[in-house]
Structure 1
Amino acid sequence: MSQPFDMDLFLDGVLRGSYSTRQRHLRQAKLIQAELSKRWQLETPWAWKRKHVAWFLDHRLAERSQATRYYYLLTVQLLTRRLEKSWVFHS
């Protein structure tokens, strides 16, 4: 039986800032992971492609406020840095 993916450990090396900021990034990253897992059965960020994350930003956050989309974009930038990808997303 495999262990569930640990997003806390995955982002540990790139998380900076206050405790509440780190918790927000972790909460949002877990939500992104859950949505991509539900839609494409991609359990870990290593399996994600740019199109999957772009889908989340474009479709799942379409009805959210500009501020919410901005904070999710910051979290996606952390995920991109951790994955060592050159993905660029615009708000």
Structure 2
Amino acid sequence: MSRPFDMELFLAGVLTGSHATRQRHVRQAKIIQAEIAGRWKRETPWTWQRKHVAWFLEHRLAERCEVTRYRYLLTVRLLARRLKKSWIFNRHANP
């Protein structure tokens, strides 16, 4: 029996800022994880590809305001840093 993936522990090495900011990044990373797991059955960030994260940013956040999309983009950058990936996402990809 495997334990559930601990996103807070996964991000611990790259999280900076105030407590509220760190908690927001963890909360948003869990939302990203749940959406990708629901769509592609990829349960952990280690199994994600760039296309999974791009799908989340482009399709799941399409109706959100620019500030929300930007904050999720910051969380995605932390995830990419933790995964040691060179993923680049355009801040203004959504209309």
Partner of 2:90: 90
Q: How does 1:52-71 map to 2 (within 5 A)?
A: 52-71=52-71
1:31 deviates by: 0.1
Q: What's the CA shift string for 1:1-20, capped at 9, x where partnerless?
A: 11100001000000000000
> Over the residues paired in the alignment, what is the CA RMSD in angstroms?
0.3
Paired residues in the alignment total 91
1:76 deviates by: 0.1
- Tell me the TM-score normalised to structure 1 length: 0.99
Identity within the alignment, %: 71
Identify unmatched segments of 5+ residues in structure 1.
Answer: none
- Tell me the TM-score normalised to structure 2 length: 0.95
Partner of 2:32: 32
4+ runs deviating over 4 angstroms: none
1:51 deviates by: 0.2
**Separation in 1 of the partners of 2:90 and 2:16?**
22
What one-letter code is carried by the residue in structure 1 that aligns with 2:52?
H
What one-letter code is carried by the residue in structure 1 that aligns with 2:87?
W
**Separation in 2 of the partners of 1:61 and 1:78?**
18
Is 1:78 equivalent to 2:78 in the alignment?
A: yes
